[in-house]
Amino acid sequence: MKELLQKLHDAAMQAILETEDVDSLESLRVKYLGKKGELTSILRQMGRLSAEERPAMGQLANQLRAEIEQTLETRRAALNEARLEMKLLQETVDVTLPGKKQPQGHKHPMYNVLDQIKDIFIGMGFEIVDGPEVELSDYNFTKLNIDEGHPSREWTDTFYFTGDSRICLRTQTSPMQIHAMETRPLPIRMIAPGRVYRKDEVDATHSPMFHQIEGMVIDKGVTMSDLKATLNLVVEKIYGKGTVTRFRPHHFPFTEPSCELDIQCHKCGGRGCPTCKGEGWIEVLGAGMVHPKVLAGCGIDPDVYSGWAFGMGLERLAMGEYKITDLRLIFENDVRFLEQF
Ligand code: DAH
């Protein structure tokens, strides 16, 4: 019996050490040590032994079983480790391989122009302010001295809300003048870029949504010459030194006096060409001295303070700068178009 046990032990040990995968280790355990395994069947023969022989044989059987179990465990651990090692090896990343290029977008051309304008005004000590696109008609019109009955308040021009003419999508960034005057300490130097909405059909020069930049200065002793000097400087920064400007009288309800600023066509030098539609001049913005009624309506004493303001269209500026001939291209976001800038 001793030999039988020893033979079983040796055979088991050899089989275990030769095994190359964890799953067959389990079958070996069942085969040798399981309930119906070989060791059990040898031990069944214990009955034939004498009472003196039995304890020693029992002890031997236990010792051999322990050895086999120990070896099974060690082998299992070794195989697992080898498997992990192999897996790690197979999954190594070759960091020297060239990467896959990710296409990277860039800023929209119109925002390039806006950033340029912001930089110019920040450089002169202006703040950039933001405000609501859904606006009270009071702010979009009334407080700007645009009274009931003014054509720009018509339902055919302005997007009003749910049959309520007290709320609309702002048709201009000028209500930001009111917000600034009502909430900011004086003096004020600010620009307010943003979206505006009008009931226009889409074509090469119109869109129901477009962008304006509002600008305003309120302080003591501010005059029209400040307006002209500042805007001339801005024009030179945008269009280059020596750009000729012209301030043309105009009318806006919220400024008095009001003007429009034209630049001499940089393409033809004023002789007239397709860029300036034969005019020699290109209209850039509307401006003026903030109306005393508007100042007073915001609680600012027009006898102490004065101010100037301007408003310009951002798309028009970007189209001029990048020679874009159709407004729709700016909003369609066709990458083949956008990639060019
Ligand atoms: N809000 C005017 C418009 O949409 C533009 C404008 C004109 C703004 C004169 C101003 C200004 O601030 O002073 O046509």
Residue 96 domain-assigned?
Answer: no
Q: What is the mean pLDDT of residues 169-194?
A: 98
- Whether 43 and 123 share a structural domain: no
- Whether 148 and 201 share a structural domain: yes
- Whether 118 and 165 share a structural domain: yes
Atom 6 in ligand 1: residue holding the nearest Cα: 311
Any ligand 1 atom below 6 A from CB of 310: yes
Could you count the other beta carbons within 10 Å of the beta carbon of residue 274?
Answer: 10
Any ligand 1 atom below 6 A from CB of 174: yes
* pLDDT tens, residue by residue, 202-220: 999 899 999 999 999 999 9
Contact criterion met (CB below 8 Å) for 288 and 309: yes
- Whether 128 and 76 share a structural domain: no
* pLDDT tens, residue by residue, 297-316: 999 999 999 999 999 999 99
pLDDT-derived band at 33 (thresholds 50, 70, 90) equals: confident
Burial 136-148 (b: 16+ CB within 10 A, else e): bbebbbbbbbbee
Residue 242 is inside which H or E element, if any?
Answer: none
- Whether 210 and 181 share a structural domain: yes
- Measured CA to CA, the distance from residue 126 to residue 124 in angstroms comes to 6
* pLDDT tens, residue by residue, 266-299: 788 899 988 788 999 999 999 999 999 999 999 9
Q: Given this model, what pLDDT does residue 21 score? A: 84
State the total domains in the chain. 2
Any ligand 1 atom below 6 A from CB of 131: no
pLDDT-derived band at 157 (thresholds 50, 70, 90) equals: very high
Average pLDDT score, the chain: 92
Contact criterion met (CB below 8 Å) for 198 and 277: no
Residue 101 domain-assigned?
Answer: no
- Whether 114 and 68 share a structural domain: no
What's this model's pTM, rounded to 2 decimal places?
A: 0.72
Residue 42 domain-assigned?
Answer: yes
Backbone φ and ψ of 55, nearest 5°: -60, -45
Given a cut of 90, whether residue 48 has pLDDT beyond it is no
- Whether 118 and 36 share a structural domain: no
Contact criterion met (CB below 8 Å) for 314 and 212: yes
- Measured CA to CA, the distance from residue 229 to residue 9 in angstroms comes to 104
* pLDDT tens, residue by residue, 184-206: 999 999 999 999 999 999 999 89
Residues 6+ apart with CB under 8 A from 19: 25, 28, 75, 79
**Ligand 1: centre distance to CA 213 (Å):** 9
- Whether 152 and 292 share a structural domain: yes
Nearest of 47, 64, 75 to residue 2 by alpha carbon:
64
Q: Give the domain extent around 210.
A: 109-338
pLDDT-derived band at 141 (thresholds 50, 70, 90) equals: very high
**Ligand 1: centre distance to CA 311 (Å):** 4
- Measured CA to CA, the distance from residue 225 to residue 288 in angstroms comes to 11
**Ligand 1: centre distance to CA 252 (Å):** 7
Any ligand 1 atom below 6 A from CB of 286: yes
Q: Given this model, what pLDDT does residue 277 score? A: 87
- Whether 183 and 301 share a structural domain: yes
- Whether 118 and 74 share a structural domain: no
Contact criterion met (CB below 8 Å) for 128 and 190: yes
- Whether 167 and 266 share a structural domain: yes
